Structure 1
Amino acid sequence: EVGHEVVCVDLDTGVVVQGELPVDLPSPVWKTLHATLRQCVKLHVTKSDHVFSHSFERQPREFPQRRVRLAFHDAVLAVIGSEDVATSKGGVEDVHFGRFRYLWDDQYQDKMVFFDEAGYLASSPVVMRPFRTCLIATQAFSEYIVDHNGFTDDEASN
């Protein structure tokens, strides 16, 4: 049995589970991933019972392993809401990683950094909110925010 604090994301099947509860993977993410993977595989079909199979190449091309890996990488970034993912319209996917609140501790002259979860969810596309609500509760998301923004113990104390 998986605890409620664990979120499992299976991008191969489009299934997301938090504890025992299924959560829908946002359809724009899995549709884009599916289309990209289908395009990658379609070019490498050499044998098929398809009616137009005579038009397929008889020798397989080199499989685009890098492109497939990038498709999954882009899917993960789209789920999180990263500036690194371009949309099909030439724009940039929703960006939320400037959302931080700082709490200064005069006693130690340190600052504590808090991610603005409410702002992140409020500015997320509606279709992404249910998934992201579950995602922000995970330690993996916290670690991603720290890694993505370069916060370390040394920098936080400056």
Structure 2
Amino acid sequence: MHNYIIGSNGIALESSAKKAMELGFETHTVTDSIQEDVTETANFILKTIDNQKPTGNKPVCLLFGGEPTVKVSGKGLGGRNQHLALYLATKICCKKNITILCAGTDGTDGPTDAAGAVVDYETATKAVEKGIDPNHYLSNCDSYRFFQQVGGHIITGNTGTNVMDIIVAIVQ
């Protein structure tokens, strides 16, 4: 009997890196073993971003994989990827050169139809301008409803596979 691994988070990250390079990004796969709480994960991502500035004319694509965790509080709706994306949105506010995508490879995040969300430097600012407080949604673990109002959901439908989560940070 033989076992063949035909899919893994590492393989998904390799394919993502290949595509990012084809699209002209300076690409770095940082890790495929994220397991920490979303706040620790976010701090790690932000520290990595701060240490990776574009070295030439190419924007940088940083790839992370694994499955962060979130301690649910409140009665909101969402999942770890949407929560991580929302948390990161509050931390990259006004940093015009950063865009981050957090998504589950199975196409779902928590009990929602979203795989995750994408945020940039304007996400939190636009929310506040609309009278939407990102911190309220974070404290209630209600990231799904936040992104319903502000935009940024990644909706793929069920992919039929699950090789954990992928986080893509673009630094220009």
TM-score, scaled relative to structure 1:
0.24
Give the number of the structure whose residues are more often strand, by fraction. 2
TM-score, scaled relative to structure 2:
0.23
Give the number of the structure whose residues are more often helix, by fraction. 1
Higher relative contact order (CA 8 A, sep 6+): 2
